[in-house]
Amino acid sequence: MSKIAVLFPGQGAQAVGMGKDLVEAHPEAQTWFDRASEALGFDLAKVCFEGPAEELTRSDRAQPAIFVHSVVAYELLKAQTGFIPGAAAGLSSGEWAALYAAGVVSFEDAIRILRVRGEAMQAACEEVKSSMVSLIGLDDEKIAEICAETGVEVANYNSPGQTVISGSAEACEKVPALAKAKGARMAIPLPVAGAFHSSFMAPAEKIFADFLSEIEFKAPAFPVYSNVTGVAHPDVAAIQRDMPRQITCSVRWVENVQAMAADGVVKAVECGPGKVLTGLLKRIDKSIASSNVTDLASLEASVDFLK
């Protein structure tokens, strides 16, 4: 059976001005920012619309901000089309938007979750100097050699030939030259706070797991694909078990897309800032048609795409 999936981006997709034109054109969308601001204790809309970029980049700001922008994009698309997804997935923190879309967690709980997740990860980043590097054009065998030689870890399997590694700041400084020597087309140090999806985030995982034990989870209305396992969460118990682990485990995005395609997904709409996931989708499986909603123009284009 053919399905349409909804996809949600993760940290790194944030940009000053995100969501502003959607709210200006659809004032009812301001409600989502107001509800989030009340839960967070600061003006999230101001941070999203005006920045500064340094504040929006912090994990404890970026994660709730991307989530709310993603929800606004998703809810406006639903309101204009009656769109009901057949599947959902999100990259890293975006998986929480996918769980919200599937009815697993409420909006307010998701905001609380992402605040705690972001704060815990930011604290872990500040504890030890660490970083990330995006590697383009290397196969998994060469990536494994780099990990063995430097002590870095695979953070994200984004697409065939694009892998992100995490490690100490010292180890990450050695990676670009080593990767180039092994044939990488590009090795790009990322402007991030620390080594996400690695053992450096272990303190954050513990804090987050304790917090999630207090949250009520409901069965998903449609399949949500797990970054940790690469396939759909089988039940609520698996969600409760794997979402804390997601902070330290590699993001298996290639497997997520492959599993969705195998399960009948033929179209996908990315909701949230940027269009990184639609770009990755084209490199993983060209048979899945895609669109994105990040601003007013792309919302209108995605309405036509779903028609």
User: Quick one: pLDDT band at residue 272, thresholds 50, 70, 90?
Assistant: very high
What is the per-residue pLDDT for 192? 84
How large is the average pLDDT for residues 221-239? 97
- Rounded to 10°, the helix 276-284/253-262 angle is 60
What is d(CA 29, CA 34) in angstroms, rounded to the nearest whole number? Answer: 9
Summarised one tens digit per residue, pLDDT across range 162-211 is 999 999 999 999 999 999 999 999 999 988 889 999 999 999 999 999 99
The mean predicted confidence, pLDDT, of the chain is 96
What is the per-residue pLDDT for 250? 97
Summarised one tens digit per residue, pLDDT across range 232-242 is 999 999 999 99
How large is the average pLDDT for residues 278-292? 96
Contact 134, 240 (CB under 8 A): no
Residues 6+ apart with CB under 8 A from 240: 212, 213, 217
What is the per-residue pLDDT for 307? 87
Cα separations (Å) of 227 from 88, 154, 197? Answer: 12, 13, 10
| Radius of gyration of the chain measured on its C-alpha atoms | 18
User: What b-and-e string marks burial along 274-287, b requiring 16 or more CB atoms within 10 Å of the CB?
Assistant: bbbbbbbbeebbee
Contact 148, 187 (CB under 8 A): no
User: Quick one: pLDDT band at residue 57, thresholds 50, 70, 90?
Assistant: confident
How large is the average pLDDT for residues 14-23? 96
3-state secondary structure of 204: helix
For each of the domains in the chain, give its residue range(s) and CATH number, in order of start: 3-126+199-306 (3.40.366.10), 130-189 (3.30.70.250)
Q: Which two tokens stand for residue 286?
A: 């060209």
| pLDDT surpassing 80 at residue 1 | no
Active site positions, annotated: 92, 197
Which one, of 14, 95, 6, lies nearest residue 54 by Cα? 14
pTM: 0.96
